[in-house]
Structure 1
């Protein structure tokens, strides 16, 4: 217990600056004056080198994932599912862009860092709806989600199963929480109560980091629980690969920012003649994330192939511009708390039936998924609208 207490005390305490008071945020630790900083590569200082590297990696990731997004938009045969897929793929350019901006403008980078979690929250919310749509694509899929006979009695006001509501709100809470944390970070930075240089409990920094981590864990674990409960129905769609492909971005972002923030806050990592405080605290986590983006872009392209939505004789339900407009219109995600799973997913099902969407690859009039699963096209075995 004594050892645990000492570790916790070191983790949440920072008093390297002897001139700081208990109520004031310590000044940013700087060991070397700016005019004495040394280059890291040739004549390039760390900031210049990091900006070039982050920009190159971000551009590469953007080009890779843009090909996949354009292919889905031009083969928009299943609007209900593919708008969620495009939203998930858009996580890569979102993270790549803001990672680059944070490195490039590191002096104001702390105001931008939480934008990464906002993009992640949209992607994970879209992923939950995509999982539900996969199940709804099966004959009797509505009953699989809401219980036997639900399709015959489902109307507004009918309650959803407790497990589904719990999963629903545990995932979707990440969306508003990410916005609140972003705003709280910007406000506390502006009024001087954030203090990224300290992990003392009196400052907002450590509490916002804890809230962010807890919110992220709830969302990720709830999605994983949904997958485990519906593993058999989701198996043909290779959901675990999709799960790891984009949730690795979420996990690494939170983990890297938190670890580096803690190490800088308690003085374990300090500025050097090559890297300033802002280089380490703000730019370094985003630089690492930007360098990881091309790899995640390739993984996402492989995990969300467009081939399964191509069917001979099946024309796109909308043009590329309309497809992108549907993907960017996130009113369905924003209203999830109000409408709840029963109402929203019923609307999703009606949308698939009206569009006569082909969710999977068609062979000889039978719909076949990546894993060989067969099902009838939407609308052939449709539940009546109630």
Structure 2
């Protein structure tokens, strides 16, 4: 089978000049230039006015640079549409260049929504790591899931909010790369007469460029919709629906109305070239004129969708949402900064390096990070009676972020009564040590006092820490020593086991021992540095050792008063 390698397009050779006048001395082409030019000028002026207001109140750079990029979409489309009417024989260049910018508008909208939830990428990942619940995929992916394995198939709902976030991230940022690549391909092939917009033959680049772009933009817009469905409630104060509508309608009309007019004129022959409207007027002039008028209307809509008033110094404060309302927690204020200046704002908006880095991060996760995603803390069990490993010997357990109640734990009440509730390591201002399970286990503990041990007499009375042997026999008894010590006991106690020494989080310096809950002030006993093998042999935290002792009895070597 042989393919025709000659493009039958005549748009580049056709010129408008002999059509009838329809409004005074104006032909349709001249009238389209007049109306399109005025509409484009209105759209550009309104957009630049709003961008200038944001730049002069540049108090939240992380958000406003993305807003300026979104607003810049209107001047790009309006200018491109007007140039298509004027230089209709080169319309393909202007069309592909303006369509290329929609990828940056979509990615900027996604980045703006992310910064509404958290100030930077690290905090955003923490937000999605604890996000609950994760809403099901919207149509049609939910249908795919039902017929392709359900919760075990490739269309399943991610168990981790962080994995869900990375999927949306890739689905949006990949479009920037695809769209720029296809735009360059279209421009080069058009220059060498291998694009042929009027032909769907596979020997020309047009059908391949349109096919790839259609798939990529469908994925990106689906991810934007899924992102909106998931977060429309916590972001309600930012009017996300109006923002989605202002972006989606521009992209929808710029693509589909052009396709509809092309099909109606070329395939259905609803309108054909005549003495009033030439072929270039129908093919290029009519859809471009409609787009110019629509951009003026969208520029007006953007005044409400992306207002500058919330960014004025002294404006009403906004707050970052909480990922999981069931965990409680306070809302962090999204504070205003000192205005950075107009040129700084436009410079940040024109610097697209953050989009390049975002695409690189997405590709790194897609090909590398996805393999180790189950190691993230968001995949660990949350709540329930299995949320803490109480087996013996005990294993380390990474606690998930957020406050949790311990009323459901069978050892919680006994732990609050034990002597281990006192003297836990604390930060300044009595904040629990970050990452320590004690912050969750004794969160609701009642206050109590425990009398300190009296000084020993010279008759060497039995140690106050001498306890009755545990009824449970354990061959590893000597490896799990735990319990507070006094200065006099340290002078006569047997050497500490390496397994216990590995869990001393305090400095060996004598000046720092006063803060340790295991040493009294003025003690001369020095802790020995644990060996590397001892550090690797046991990965339990101090709180887990206490929980184990509460369950299985004391594992300390007993002191019977003899030297």
What TM-score results when the alignment is normalised by the length of structure 1?
A: 0.73
Matched, 1:99 2:100: no
User: Which of the numbers 108, 111, 122 marks the counterpart of 1:126?
Assistant: 108
**Matched residues in 2 for 1:342 and 1:317: separation?**
35
Q: How does 1:178-197 map to 2 (within 5 A)?
A: 178-197=179-198
| Change beyond 3 A, Cα 1:260–1:199 | farther
**Matched residues in 2 for 1:34 and 1:292: separation?**
25
| Change beyond 3 A, Cα 1:267–1:121 | same
Q: Tell me how far 1:211 sits from its aligned partner.
A: 2.6
Q: What SS class does the counterpart of residue 161 from structure 1 fall into? A: helix
User: Which of the numbers 318, 340, 349 marks the counterpart of 1:318?
Assistant: 340
For residue 43 of structure 1, what is the aligned residue in structure 2? Answer: 25
The 10-residue stretch of structure 1 (179-188 or 115-124) with the greater mean CA deviation from structure 2: 179-188
C-alpha deviations, 1:96-130, integer Å up to 9, x for none?
A: 11111111111111111111212211111110101
For residue 290 of structure 1, what is the aligned residue in structure 2? Answer: 292
**Matched residues in 2 for 1:283 and 1:101: separation?**
10
For residue 39 of structure 2, what is the aligned residue in structure 1? Answer: 57
Q: Is the 8 A contact 2:56 2:339 kept in 1?
A: no
| Change beyond 3 A, Cα 1:272–1:188 | farther
| Change beyond 3 A, Cα 1:260–1:198 | farther
| Change beyond 3 A, Cα 1:201–1:318 | same
Matched, 1:334 2:356: yes
Q: What SS class does the counterpart of residue 272 from structure 1 fall into? A: coil
Q: What SS class does the counterpart of residue 314 from structure 2 fall into? A: coil
Q: Tell me how far 1:336 sits from its aligned partner.
A: 1.2
Q: Is the 8 A contact 1:199 1:205 kept in 2?
A: yes
| Change beyond 3 A, Cα 1:339–1:218 | same
Q: Tell me how far 1:264 sits from its aligned partner.
A: 4.2
Matched, 1:253 2:247: no
For residue 126 of structure 2, what is the aligned residue in structure 1? Answer: 143
| Change beyond 3 A, Cα 1:182–1:282 | farther
Matched, 1:117 2:119: no
Q: What SS class does the counterpart of residue 244 from structure 1 fall into? A: helix
Q: How does 1:253-272 map to 2 (within 5 A)?
A: 253-266=254-267, 268=269, 269-272=271-274
For residue 276 of structure 1, what is the aligned residue in structure 2? Answer: 278
C-alpha deviations, 1:320-352, integer Å up to 9, x for none?
A: 111111111111012212134999xxxxxxxxx
Q: Is the 8 A contact 1:209 1:258 kept in 2?
A: no
**Matched residues in 2 for 1:317 and 1:40: separation?**
52
Q: Tell me how far 1:263 sits from its aligned partner.
A: 3.6
For residue 163 of structure 1, what is the aligned residue in structure 2? Answer: 164
**Matched residues in 2 for 1:122 and 1:200: separation?**
30
Q: Tell me how far 1:311 sits from its aligned partner.
A: 3.5
C-alpha deviations, 1:259-302, integer Å up to 9, x for none?
A: 23334443624322222222222232222111101110011111
Structure 1 gaps of 5+ residues are 1-20, 149-158, 344-383
| Change beyond 3 A, Cα 1:36–1:96 | closer
Q: What SS class does the counterpart of residue 200 from structure 2 fall into? A: coil
| Change beyond 3 A, Cα 1:280–1:181 | farther
Superposed CA RMSD in Å reads: 2.9
C-alpha deviations, 1:18-77, integer Å up to 9, x for none?
A: xxx9442225389x9966421232222222221121111010011112221111111111
Q: What SS class does the counterpart of residue 40 from structure 1 fall into? A: strand
Counting matched residue pairs gives 313
**Matched residues in 2 for 1:171 and 1:201: separation?**
28
The 10-residue stretch of structure 1 (216-225 or 39-48) with the greater mean CA deviation from structure 2: 39-48
Matched, 1:227 2:210: no
**Matched residues in 2 for 1:240 and 1:93: separation?**
22
Matched, 1:212 2:194: no
For residue 51 of structure 2, what is the aligned residue in structure 1? Answer: 69
Q: What SS class does the counterpart of residue 114 from structure 1 fall into? A: helix
Q: How does 1:303-314 map to 2 (within 5 A)?
A: 303-312=305-314
For residue 153 of structure 1, what is the aligned residue in structure 2? Answer: none
The 10-residue stretch of structure 1 (40-49 or 69-78) with the greater mean CA deviation from structure 2: 40-49
**Matched residues in 1 for 2:346 and 2:363: separation?**
24
